[in-house]
Chains A and B, each alone.
Chain A
């Protein structure tokens, strides 16, 4: 009997090749999308789970309470981690991780290692970054030690063994010994670097006081707790710990940190405290949820589609059912046959899914911005899971059509009359409504994601980022000379030296500024170190007072410029009120000379915070160059020439500020692209389902169409008749999708400090789009039915 079933299943598939192709393809495409999303979600959830001690590793973060605000930091003060090890027996080991850009040299090879990290000696004992050469216990124990990844070792030493060799680090060309070679850090690691330098180089040689600077918030810090330690209980001991070590200073500067312990495994997806400098190292649990939901939606749509297409073809199988029943088959046998066929189709779809997924994986990796998986065939467990899923889908999606088919009344069907129950029709309509509701919601979501991105791009930032080129001199001593040389180049409009450019990092400073009451108010200000030319170059507008000016000799030592946000926290109603007021900051005292209008120095996800522009030459290493668009290639070549003359020891690298600033939106962009692609897929599969249902309905109404045509109905009358029924469903689905999409997208937008409005036109466009897609899909079927010869359709009676 099985053989007979298989035979008929395959012959049927082959005989209705186009239909089978649509059916199988719809399912395969849905399953592929689902599989890729599954890989993505699994990858996101796998971050840092490869560390065998991950359950015992905690990141130390702090909430810093100042008199005016609560500042969440992603790292504690420098001494916290080592002192915690001293005080708490629960702490087995600690390591701080300080990201940095470090210049590396070997002979003629020069690289600015932008993702270098300084780490304490227990780094390789806490984390599972495998050393191929060297000892995890001693690799970072001495100053001037460096551990290279295999890639970095190859970069500097080629085929030679790098272990024990020397590299020159920083602008000062200090020799450092390669004390270990590690496997490249895995993709799903938050800490990702090709070079790890010993932290004691800083704490024992270059900045010996670091381990006592309780007010200096810097590196990331991790604790490895002893087995069985209750992290919550340990966390509760920190207030007394801080009081013991730093109580006096805390009172004096009125900044009170609260130490919190974040479980390492939760940091990547759940922490909102920033990441290790690279945009790749921070995930978002919301995105994981969103994509999981999308995957489920796509799978549901694909199943609905499959059910609709199979029931659409039910009438073609009706005669067979009748004959089988007459020949002695009972309902259960027939149901099993049709469920079996559905499983066969799913298995074919499974094979196609494997092929499609393997084909699309590289593109998907690119879309996701990371290698979420090297290949789907690498993991037999995963293959089994997909296979099992296909079987379950086959069973679930096959039950309803099997039930419909096996219920056919043999007498009716053998006479060519197909009985359909209105209950079945209601279910099918409900399925189409669900499909289109999901698709419409995804269209609305896509439009909102894209309009938010457009909003962020087009929003006035309060400064001009066009045609600005930025060069990092790493605070080289010749940078002023270079600046002067560049300013003399033709096609260079302006040059400025600064510590930060919009979109880059900045310092935070404990400051005291006179407030509206005349008191010195303790406040935390973000600091941009700038020179005289910064404000005009970036075209930052003044709200009150004046920009820095060479004519005022005291500007470099006794002046400060604030932004409007800072002025507001001091209680002033207008910026003018702040001019001339006193400030104290990092050993400097003076007056506020100007207030700049707020500009977006961070991405639009973040609100504009209190900022000051401070002149401090030693901390300014970035040269911003405003250039003419014309002859830009030549200008860059000229700048490079000047760079090599002034700073011969460092590699020349530059970036355009607009691109650099937009890079902050890369993850949103990726999110948008993924969203768009999956939404398009969902719509495509929904349309296949609709096509199936339209053809089903048309088939059912063949006789009616024939009679109407004989009575004088035109082709457009018939198309109208057939389309109306489905368009009604699409319209209903629109009304279901809109509030749901509004709710979720509203929540999504809440993550952005500056966000676009969800306007009515978005819904209108999505609705019209869904309707148009549906009309086109249905019309194909309706037109075919409408132009058919009525005599033929009437003969079916």
Chain B
């Protein structure tokens, strides 16, 4: 599903050049659950952003479902992203002015799904995430765990092939964290590919494979048994 080769990302300011990704090459197959680990500043979030088509690589190749996407323009990237990729963030990133229902509905609006279908799909996914009873609440009225569930619901509502999770349990206590990890595992078992950046060895154990990074390069891969 994902095949990147010699990917480079360099951040430049007037005087300093920081190599975030240094000719990195990774493959992720469909249906895989991959965890990316490494110390802060090793480039894992940069990698995730590029994989999520939120950022451009400077060099290298990025094949998404056998299509070269490394130098797609904004419109094409947005198009590919909204149909294929869901995001889960550490800080949930829900829009405070929208209710649970409206937050989850958002990706469907941008993919042009009709209102009737939207309602059905949002309700389905809220049901699945067991957060239906909170559908009319605003994010600030929910606990952290509940907010992250809403975020996961939003990530999956479009039935994406790939979910990118950036430290999804980072802001949660262990019980809520476990719940979220279980959710992700369930989704993966239903066929969704998941790539997760994490600091937590515990969370990483839910994955099939751990890619360890250092200074913008992969240094080790552990296959989980």
Measured CB to CB, the residues of A under 8 A from B are 1, 4, 7-8, 11-12, 15, 319-320, 322-331, 333, 410-411, 414, 416
Contacts and interface: CB of A to CB of B under 8 A. Distances in A.
B110 A12 contact: no
A328 B111 contact: yes
Interface residues of B, number: 29
B74 interface: yes
Contact of B93 (A1, A323, A329): A323
B106 A15 contact: no
B109 A4 contact: yes
Contacts of A326: 52, 54, 81, 87, 93
Given A325-B54, A327-B82, A330-B78, A320 B110 contact: no
Interface in B106-121: 106-107, 109-111
B75 interface: yes
Interface of B: 45, 49, 52, 54-55, 74-75, 78-79, 81-83, 87, 89, 91, 93-98, 102, 105-107, 109-111, 154
Nearest to A333: B110
Nearest to A326: B87
Nearest to B53: A326
Given A327-B106, A327-B154, A7 B54 contact: no
Given A4-B102, A324-B106, A319 B95 contact: yes
A15 B91 CA distance: 21
A164 B106 CA distance: 81
Contacts, number: 66
Contacts of B82: 327-328
A366 B169 CA distance: 68
Contacts of A11: 97-98
B107 A328 contact: yes
Nearest to A321: B95
Contact of B49 (A8, A330, A333, A411): A411
A319 B91 CA distance: 11
Contact of B78 (A4, A12, A328, A411): A328
A410 B83 CA distance: 18
Nearest to A410: B54
B78 A8 contact: no
Q: Which of B94, B105, B107 has the most CB of A within 10 A?
A: B107
A411 B54 CA distance: 7
Nearest to A11: B97
Nearest to A414: B93
30 contacts: A4-B98, A4-B106, A4-B109, A7-B97, A7-B98, A8-B97, A11-B97, A11-B98, A15-B96, A319-B93, A319-B95, A320-B95, A323-B93, A323-B94, A323-B95, A326-B52, A326-B81, A326-B93, A327-B106, A327-B107, A327-B110, A327-B154, A328-B78, A328-B81, A329-B78, A330-B74, A330-B78, A331-B74, A411-B54, A414-B91
A573 B82 CA distance: 95
Contacts of B89: 414
A328 B98 CA distance: 17
Contact of B110 (A322, A328, A411): A328
A320 to B, nearest CB: 5
Contact of A411 (B55, B79, B105): B55
A624 B81 CA distance: 92
A4 B99 CA distance: 11
Given A410-B54, A411-B55, A324 B93 contact: no
Q: Which of A8, A15, A327, A410 has the most CB of B within 10 A?
A: A327
B93 A7 contact: no
B32 to A, nearest CB: 22
Q: Which of A323, A325, A414 has the most CB of B within 10 A?
A: A323
Given A331-B74, A410-B54, A324 B97 contact: no
Contacts of B93: 319, 322-323, 326, 414
A325 B95 contact: no
Contacts of A416: 91
6 closest A-B pairs by beta carbon, nearest first, are: A328-B82, A328-B110, A11-B97, A327-B107, A330-B78, A327-B106
Given A8-B98, A328-B111, A411-B54, A323 B78 contact: no
A62 B82 CA distance: 80
A1 B109 contact: yes
A424 B22 CA distance: 33
Given A319-B93, A320-B95, A324-B110, A330 B75 contact: yes
Given A4-B106, A329-B110, A410-B54, 9 more contacts: A7-B97, A7-B98, A8-B98, A15-B96, A323-B95, A327-B107, A327-B110, A329-B78, A411-B55
Contacts of B94: 323
Nearest to B108: A327
A414 B102 CA distance: 19
Nearest to B73: A330
A313 to B, nearest CB: 13
A329 to B, nearest CB: 5
Contacts of A1: 109-110
Contacts of B87: 326
A341 to B, nearest CB: 12
Nearest to B95: A320
B98 A325 contact: no
Contacts of B154: 327
A331 B74 CA distance: 8
A11 B52 CA distance: 30
Nearest to B50: A411
Nearest to B75: A330
A293 B170 CA distance: 58
A320 B54 contact: no
Contacts of A328: 78-79, 81-83, 107, 110-111
B73 to A, nearest CB: 10
Nearest to A332: B75
